[in-house]
Amino acid sequence: MLLAILRRVGQMFFVMVGISMLVFMIFFATPGADPASRIAGRNASPEILEAVRKSFGFDQPFYVQYLIMMKKIFITGDLTSFVNRGWKVVPAVLDTIPVTLSLVIGAAILWVIFGIIIGTVAAATRGSWLDKLLMILGLIGISMPVYWLGEVMNLVTQSRYHDTWMFSWVPPLGYKNLSSDPKGWFLTLIIPWITLAILYIGLYGRVLRANLIEAMQEDYVRTARAKGLSETRILLRHALRTSLISFVTLFGLDFGALVGGSALLTEVVFDLHGVGKLTYDALQNLDLPVIMTTVMYASFFVVLANALVDVVYILLDPRVRSV
Amino acid sequence: MLSVRDLRVSFCTEQGMVQAIDGVSFDVAEGEILGVVGESGSGKTVSLLAVMGLITDPNAVIEGSIKYQGRELVGLSAKDMRKLRGREIAMIFQDPMTALTPVYTIGWQIAEQIRAHEKISAKAAEQRAIDLLQEVNIPNPAEAIHLYPHQLSGGMRQRAVIAMALSCNPSLLVADEPTTALDVTVQAQILDLVRKLQKNYKSAVVFITHDMGVIAEIADRVMVMYAGRIAERGSKRELFSEPQHPYTQALLDSIPPLEGKRPHRLKSIPGAPPALLHRSTGCAFAPRCAKRFDACVNMPILTANGHDAACFKVNPI
């Protein structure tokens, strides 16, 4: 077990070093990419360019610049923005993490619960009108772009129907701190959670249904029937348990990506200042230290999510344990 | 004990109705071993799955009568059938590699079956599982109950499946080619085990196989099936010493002889079994039969005098 954890940590280290070098190269070392001229502006004189280059340390060799940046992110934590000089980047990213985590974890709980319920009910009633209805709803959920759905949600809950009994409880957009205002935190996030989860509920429900139907054709299900078990028990204890393995794989990938900043569109629509929003803003004005830091953070979470998936695998599938 | 009369199983397909079982009748007496032989697609498995109520295909139509200890099973509610299955009638499947759920220990799976039919504590069920594994000669049963299927060899898994089938002391055991997926030495051990358990538990066994050698080893009575019908049935001695149906004769001829000169090539039956969709109205075996004659364009009727065959050579009408 300790060895497995160490291997994971090592893996995480390599992934992060690789990604950081790649991102650094793209913005600093590709031909034509001159950060100094970008910072100095379009019509800057050569003297100003030179001054900028010196002031930001671009006159040093690449590896020195890279190492200084890494040191400032991980050791001293005092990396400052290129655009907004003096603005500390690392605390800014750390501030956004609770927002993104609140959004994504809440949505994940919703989509796992409803994905499992919808997939199982559809598989159990395969071919019936209920199954068809659920699958069509799932398809609609997958097809709706999250930025559009979010805007519609806002239109309905913030403006058109806000003053009716249905949505008068919905607070204005923005994030409330969990520790100081738990009720506000919960209320502001309900609509974003639902919006983000709908796509994944549809997707996971459909995938699980397909897996369950495949599992119900397996020999061990016939054995379970021959044992005289009820159909419900066969579906839940035998077929669902084995089908959850691919469900978990999918979950690890999606969860890692969302925590890493893929929830950007939801964050923008609902005015939540999360990691995605921060990265998006940094990309708008090419604020390299911020991009670098958020990328580091994202790759850390993707690797962490995959490590967690491996742990869940071990719990779910005994065949993995002996390897 | 089990009495099947004029069983017909057909499946609706896009090309029309496919008659998989076409009027099969047989009896299984208390404590006997009935061997069912036939090629793939001859309907031997489907007919027994019908007895178990395990044909889940919604397009299947089952007609006829299946009586178990006087009780009609065709049309029995799913709930009542479930109570019978696993407790009164148990089944062993062909491939032990896939017959057990991979994510549970074998002890858990055996206990699950016991607790589905009897009100006993988890602890008592576990003890029963240990005893059962002991009975099927699995070494270290107290530890073996904690093993997962993938940690066992094929022979051991089949023993675990047998232990599970026997867990509620069924009076009828259906074994669907339980030795086909195993190598020959393990095959012999499993056959010995089935025979020994059949004596101890006094259950009747229906043993499905395509291997005449296995039948010779284990069966009391034999039923030969061809294209969804019974070709010949009788006691093992009668059937092996004086086979009446040309199909049975051909099957026996294709076994390599143990004594005498080694044949240059083994005899085989020319042709392949007929497609289920386009059944002829005559004897299904006629196109492959060396002894066919004019009468074979009609459907032969199975005689009814103990050792029966469905052939115009035996029963000219």
The CATH number given to whatever domain includes residue A302 is: 1.10.3720.10
Residue A281 placed within a domain? yes
Asked if A151 and A257 sit in the same domain, the reply is yes
Q: Considering only CA atoms, which of A249, A269, A102, A122 is closest in space to residue A187?
A: A102
Asked if A70 and A141 sit in the same domain, the reply is no
Whole-number pLDDT of residue B147 = 93
Asked if A25 and A173 sit in the same domain, the reply is no
Asked if A103 and A220 sit in the same domain, the reply is yes
Residues of A whose CB is below 8 A from B105: 318
Whole-number pLDDT of residue A177 = 85
Residues A111 and A194: beta-carbon distance below 8 Å: no
The C-alpha atoms of residue B223 and residue B63 are separated, in whole angstroms, by 20
Residues A255 and A58: beta-carbon distance below 8 Å: no
Which pLDDT tens digit goes with each residue over B84-99?
998 999 999 888 889 9
Residue A1 has pLDDT above 80, yes or no: no
B150 to chain A, any CB pair closer than 8 A? The answer is yes
Whole-number pLDDT of residue A195 = 94
State whether residue B302 is helix, strand or coil. Answer: coil
Which residues, other chains included, contact B247 with Cβ-Cβ below 8 Å and sequence gap of 6+? Answer: B224, B226, B231, B232, B269, B285, B289
Residues of A whose CB is below 8 A from B112: 227, 229, 237
Any idea which residue has 């089908």 for tokens?
A243
The C-alpha atoms of residue A59 and residue A307 are separated, in whole angstroms, by 40
Asked if A169 and A311 sit in the same domain, the reply is yes
Choice between A223 and A288, residue whose per-residue pLDDT is larger: A223
Asked if A72 and A133 sit in the same domain, the reply is no
* Residue segments in chain B with a per-residue pLDDT below the cut of 50: none
What is the amino acid identity at position A208? Answer: L
- Average of pLDDT values for A113-129? 94
Asked if A119 and A151 sit in the same domain, the reply is yes
Residue A86 placed within a domain? no
Q: What is the DSSP letter of B245?
A: S
Interstrand relation of B221-226 and B71-72 (parallel, antiparallel or unpaired)? unpaired
Residue A91 placed within a domain? no
Measured in degrees and rounded to the nearest 5, phi and psi for residue B60 equal -85, 140
- Average of pLDDT values for A205-228? 93
Residue A49 placed within a domain? yes
Residue A158 placed within a domain? yes
Residue A286 placed within a domain? yes
The C-alpha atoms of residue A279 and residue A235 are separated, in whole angstroms, by 44
Asked if A219 and A299 sit in the same domain, the reply is yes
For chain A, what is the domain count? 2
The C-alpha atoms of residue A126 and residue B217 are separated, in whole angstroms, by 44
Asked if A33 and A182 sit in the same domain, the reply is no
Measured in degrees and rounded to the nearest 5, phi and psi for residue A224 equal -60, -40
Residue of chain A with shortest Cα separation from B92: A223
Asked if A57 and A115 sit in the same domain, the reply is no
Residue A85 placed within a domain? no
Which pLDDT tens digit goes with each residue over B5-48?
999 999 988 888 888 898 899 999 988 999 999 888 888 889 99
Any idea which residue has 């095959």 for tokens?
B187
Taking the CA of residue A215 and the nearest CA in chain B, the distance in Å comes to 10
Q: Return the exposure string of B180-199: e unless at least 16 CB atoms fall within 10 Å of the residue's CB, then b.
A: ebbeeebbeebbebbeebbe
Contact A316/B82, CB-based, under 8 Å? no
Which residues, other chains included, contact A79 with Cβ-Cβ below 8 Å and sequence gap of 6+? Answer: A69, A72, A73, A88, A89, A90, A289, A292, A293
Any idea which residue has 């669902």 for tokens?
A240
Q: Considering only CA atoms, which of A199, A210, A193, A218 is closest in space to residue A269?
A: A193
Taking the CA of residue A233 and the nearest CA in chain B, the distance in Å comes to 10
Taking the CA of residue A159 and the nearest CA in chain B, the distance in Å comes to 51
Contact A225/B99, CB-based, under 8 Å? no
Which pLDDT tens digit goes with each residue over A13-56?
888 888 888 888 887 777 766 777 777 777 778 888 888 888 77
Taking the CA of residue B81 and the nearest CA in chain A, the distance in Å comes to 8
The residue range of the domain holding A107 is 96-321
Residue A84 placed within a domain? no
B68 to chain A, any CB pair closer than 8 A? The answer is no
**Domain end residue (candidates: A21, A46, A76):** A76
DSSP H or E run through B309: strand B308-309
Which residues, other chains included, contact A46 with Cβ-Cβ below 8 Å and sequence gap of 6+? Answer: none
Ranking A4-8, A156-160, A261-265, A288-292 by mean pLDDT, the lowest is A4-8
Asked if A32 and A100 sit in the same domain, the reply is no
Asked if A255 and A311 sit in the same domain, the reply is yes
Residue A323 has pLDDT above 60, yes or no: no
Whole-number pLDDT of residue B35 = 94
